[in-house]
Structure 1
């Protein structure tokens, strides 16, 4: 009964953050990390006061393109901007462009105590999904030119130049 009650609590799964965000590049590593916190609830079961503690212990990602990862014991973490694009345990490479809804699933272990008694483990885990986060995957095109716009004002990439086909 406690496992059923645990799964129905309003446990916040936390948030998922992407780097870079909200836009990333096709073919590049996109770093994802979770931020989830321990939560406590006071409920009544069979006329008894029950205190429940939910602690995040594992994290899974649905990257929105048919790829899943996890559950992993670590939530990942932010990278400094100069390291964006590095592979991390929670990163993902998109092979297509478009908008993808990324869903974080956080797995919680729980304990409960009845009427102020000692904490007891809740069997299994509670599994909770965060709201989807949209990530836009773009493509990038790089072109090199031999001269500057000062040297050749009508050259490709210069203001007023004919657009590329």
Structure 2
């Protein structure tokens, strides 16, 4: 996921976060109940402009973090050029298993999971100061 959405503002933070929950798969193997627990352990972000980072947390929306929009976060990125980018994420998932509700046994290694890519348009933005107490002026002469 990305904020503010399908676009980002040049030189301002775009916030990225992943929704990668743990998952338990259940089955039967040789008449024994078996469970395999998959859980994320690392997030590899490729922001699409040659910049990458790896985090040990999935990030979160600005609102979930109690932050105002356009705040820098551990998973945010500032784009330095206008244009179109494709941001991608690879999540390393670890696993463990158990039989008949016994102790969890770790599986060595991880599995790479690739959520859908995010296509972003990077725009230049310009701020304009506006006097809210000034009525509209059709002649454009201002207050």
Structure 1 pair 148–102 and aligned structure 2 pair: CA distance change class (3 A)? same
C-alpha displacement at 1:40, in angstroms?
Answer: 2.3
* Alignment match, 1:95: 80
Tell whether 2:136 aligns with 1:153.
Answer: no
C-alpha displacement at 1:114, in angstroms?
Answer: 5.2
Q: Which runs of 5+ in 2 are unaligned?
A: none
- Work out the CA distance in 1 between the residues paired with 2:45 and 2:18: 9
* Greater radius of gyration (CA): 1
Two-structure CA RMSD over aligned residues (Å): 3.1
Structure 1 pair 43–28 and aligned structure 2 pair: CA distance change class (3 A)? same
- Work out the CA distance in 1 between the residues paired with 2:31 and 2:104: 15
Higher strand share: 2
C-alpha displacement at 1:154, in angstroms?
Answer: 5.2
Structure 1 pair 48–102 and aligned structure 2 pair: CA distance change class (3 A)? farther
TM superposition score normalised by structure 2:
0.77
Tell whether 2:53 aligns with 1:57.
Answer: no
> Aligned residues, how many?
137
Higher helix share: 1
Tell whether 2:58 aligns with 1:75.
Answer: yes
Counterpart among 138, 142, 149 of residue 123 in structure 2: 138
- Work out the CA distance in 2 between the residues paired with 1:127 and 1:121: 17
C-alpha displacement at 1:131, in angstroms?
Answer: 1.2
3-state SS of paired residue (1:53): strand
* Alignment match, 1:111: 96
